[in-house]
Chain A
Amino acid sequence: MTTMLTVDNLRVRYPTRTGVIEAVRGVSFTLGRERLGIVGESGSGKSQTGRAIMGLTPPHALVSADTLNFSGIDLLSISAKQRRSLRGKRIAMVLQDPKYSLDPVMTIGKQITETLRTHEKISKGEARDRALAMLEAVQIRDPGRVYDLHPHEVSGGMGQRVMIAMMLIAGPELLIADEPTSALDVTVQLDVLKIMDKLVSERGMGLIFVSHDLRLVSSFCDRVLVMYAGRVVEELKASELTNAQHPYTRGLLNCMPVIGENRHPLPVLDRKPEWAA
């Protein structure tokens, strides 16, 4: 499998009045045409990692790496203009809550076609056709009607499918999904994941799935990176999750209440300071 993305010693730092906060402290991994899950709790740096790859960290963030290479392009040294042309066309990102990530004053159709026409020179009619086709591909049953609706007029699950449609329409090779289903009901989550699964396989894309839900990520992805305090503490194949070595991973797996199990009290994570070293 050819490597699409190489990340070596990625660091994201935020200078504040009281010192420098290190959100990501030396994360390294490679990604081919596969699904990689990045799991962690709040403050682990998982979202910052995804955003650093997309170049979407806040302007005062300091991003550095020994290597941050996508398909031969050095993401750290390219200009803002080149980065913009990459985004949407070759790397795309799906965010958590469609309520906040879709433009509330534009219709859904307009937002999707805008994405398309930013990267390709096609007519309005052709853009509309492709947008409708994309809405069908994310299993929206009445694409013509949804095309003219505004984001607040559709449910959360449908909004997220619209987001996926918008992000995948220009045919990117890499999709970074940052907690794409966390804001959705559990039955809707599975529908959205099924759609993502189908599209990613069909198009042979690479996927980085960032989430706090270890079990969900391990059932969806091929490999999993577990992050804690800005570092990767364990990297393993999703199928081998039960054989996790690092105490943090094991602790995270054990502390969730599962239907059918009867553990009172629940095992609690005993955070050791050396994990954050």
Chain B
Amino acid sequence: MTTVLAVDGLNVVYNGYYALDAVNVDVNKGESFGLVGESGSGKSTLLRAVAGLAPVTGGTIRVGSEQLKGARRSKAFYRQVQMVFQDPYGSLHPRQTIDRLLLEPLAIHGIGDAETRIARALDEVGLGNGFRFRYPHQLSGGQRQRVAIARALIVEPSILLLDEPTSALDASVQAEVLNLLEQVRKDRQLTFVMVSHDLGVVTHMCERLVVMRNGAVVERLSAKELAAGDVKEGYTRNLMVASKGFVRT
């Protein structure tokens, strides 16, 4: 089991507010790892810190054998690690066609053969050729999220960071996108780090997970343990009970 992502004692501070407080997380190669919590837990911040989008004030992040410095990342890093954002309505540039959006990462990294790669990327996420020259506002939420996934995969990363990729989608569309993500992971043998507030989604998609609260890790467990109710912390138990829905007492 090789560790592809190691976060050690990470602190992320915004104006004196500790969004992440000495957080330790290890992710193994090829596994699907979940970060669960409510709003303000720091789960998204952790993902963004790994991506270089959040100000790191302490602790270390290691990807593979490379130690990352602060918020600066190398181009090689961006070929290895990519991210899918939560809001399908905000993660695609409103003035660019899908074709242009997918061309951008190829152009930045100097990857040739753009025509075939773009067509293949769209095909992989289940979007036909008719979508290629549309603008984002002409696509539904689920279609946009598929484009976001295609964009992340087109540089052929090995680690995919997923920030609540299906929270903003309808239930039926969510199922399709989750199936797509699973398929993609299997085909490309990717490592997933997935953030979600939905325990059902996390236990479905992930093998191991951590529960976060107020910027710290509260519990570490496997999806199987969570499903079986084998939890140690009261907070985790509360989350489990809450996810079962409303019970009239």
Contacts and interface: CB of A to CB of B under 8 A. Distances in A.
A58 B228 CA distance: 49
Interface in A210-246: 212-216, 219-220
Contacts of B248: 197, 219-220
A71 interface: no
Nearest to B183: A265
A76 B176 CA distance: 41
Interface in B3-54: 38-39
A259 B171 contact: no
Interface of A: 41-42, 156, 185-190, 193-194, 197, 212-216, 219-220, 251-252, 255-261, 264-269
Q: Which interface residue of B171, B203, B205, B245 has the most chain A CB atoms within 10 A?
A: B171
Interface residues of B, number: 34
A259 B229 CA distance: 10
B115 interface: no
Contacts of A220: 246, 248
Nearest to A260: B227
Contact of A255 (B171, B183, B198, B243): B171
Contact of B170 (A42, A194, A258, A261): A42
A259 B240 CA distance: 9
B199 interface: yes
A251 B172 contact: yes
Interface in B181-227: 182-183, 197-201, 203-205, 226-227
Contact of A268 (B172, B197, B200, B246): B172
A266 B171 contact: no
A256 B175 contact: yes
B71 interface: no
Contacts of A256: 171, 174-175, 200
Given A41-B172, A265-B179, A266-B175, A186 B246 contact: no
Contact of A186 (B171, B173, B228, B242): B242
A219 B172 contact: no
A261 B239 CA distance: 17
B138 interface: no
Contacts, number: 89
A70 B171 CA distance: 33
B127 interface: no
Interface of B: 38-39, 141, 170-176, 178-179, 182-183, 197-201, 203-205, 226-228, 238-240, 242-243, 245-248
Given A42-B141, A256-B200, A265-B182, A189 B172 contact: no
Nearest to A263: B204
B222 to A, nearest CB: 13
Contacts of B171: 41, 212-214, 252, 255-256
B172 A269 contact: yes
A219 B247 contact: yes
B200 A259 contact: yes
B246 A193 contact: yes
B176 A187 contact: no
Contacts of A194: 246
A220 B244 CA distance: 12
Contacts of A257: 175, 178, 198, 200-201, 203-205
Given A219-B246, A220-B246, A259 B38 contact: no
A258 B178 CA distance: 13
Contacts of B243: 186, 259
Contacts of A264: 182, 204
Nearest to A251: B172
A265 B182 CA distance: 8
A189 B242 contact: yes
Nearest to B39: A185
Contacts of A189: 242
A158 to B, nearest CB: 13
